[in-house]
Amino acid sequence: MGADQNFDWKQAAASALEWWRDAGVDATIDETPRNWLVRPAPAPAIDPGVTIGEAVAASGALPDTLAAFEAWRVGADAPEAGWHGRPFMAAGNAAAEILVVIDMPEREDAESGQLLSGAAGRLFDRMLAAIGRDRSSVYLVPLCAARPAAARIAPEIEARLSELLLHHVALAAPKRVLLMGNAPSRAMLGLDFLRARGSLRPVNHEAGTIRGSFEAVATFHPRFLIEQPAKKAEAWKDLQMLIGGLQQ
């Protein structure tokens, strides 16, 4: 028997690509060779009720004030110091009760000088407006201060970026954290965002003498929503969960 003459290869390929996007795959190639037989170290899972200060302390002393850490994060000792392209500091109101984490600067950010530019940034602004917020009333933090090669975070630096993110959040002390996309969710919760969605996830944090707790909400990155607008209804549920119980 021959091949099925009615088989639609284009539809099958499109379906496979959509499945991989839902699974969190955001790149098909890399600029540097890699040994695919080496198992990458898993992202650290953060269990509710367990403080994160121990993991941060193991990485060495970090600045213990927010202003000093922000400066350090884009300095010569940061993991991205040798990368091509300018680093971006966190933006917005560091005292805000909502902290938003994205994976990296957008390609357009280098030209605009602002985090989350272009189409993704415009959608992000509309998402904030829908819950009565804007960029001046949230604290926007990139997991990677600079945009990595091929727009992909290498597995070997995931653990370090996770430690730095948790330290940053501990110093900022927000009430809620919005994790936009797969990389931020893995860095903070040790879970892909599709698994982490649907509930407020409590996290205890500690940075030196600073202790407290916050609740994290995982949702879709605006880039994902541009490609799959049907997911906006689910993202709206995440945003409602984020602001539930917070005063406007």
DSSP letters along 153-168, please? --GGGHHHHHHHHHHH
- DSSP E strand boundaries for the chain: 91-92, 98-102, 139-142, 176-180, 201-207, 210-219
Tokens of 153: 């975070």
Phi-psi label, residue 151: left if phi above 0, alpha if psi -120 to 50, beta otherwise: left
* pLDDT tens track, the chain, 248 positions: 444 455 555 555 655 555 555 555 555 555 555 555 555 444 444 444 434 444 444 446 889 899 999 999 999 999 988 888 889 999 999 999 999 999 999 989 988 889 999 999 999 999 999 999 999 999 999 999 999 888 888 888 999 999 999 999 999 999 999 999 999 999 999 999 889 998 899 988 765 666 768 999 999 999 999 999 999 999 999 999 999 888 65
Q: DSSP assignment, residue 12? A: H
SS3 per residue for 179-204:
EECHHHHHHHHCCCHHHHCCCCEEEE
Q: Is 245 exposed, middle or buried (0-12, 13-18, 19+ CB in 10 A)?
A: exposed
DSSP state of 80: T
What are the phi and psi torsion angles at 196 (to 5°)?
A: -85, -20
The partner residues of 242 in beta bridges, in order of sequence, read none
Radius of gyration of the chain (CA): 19
Classified by CATH at the fold level, domain 43-243 comes out as: Uracil-DNA Glycosylase, subunit E (3.40.470)
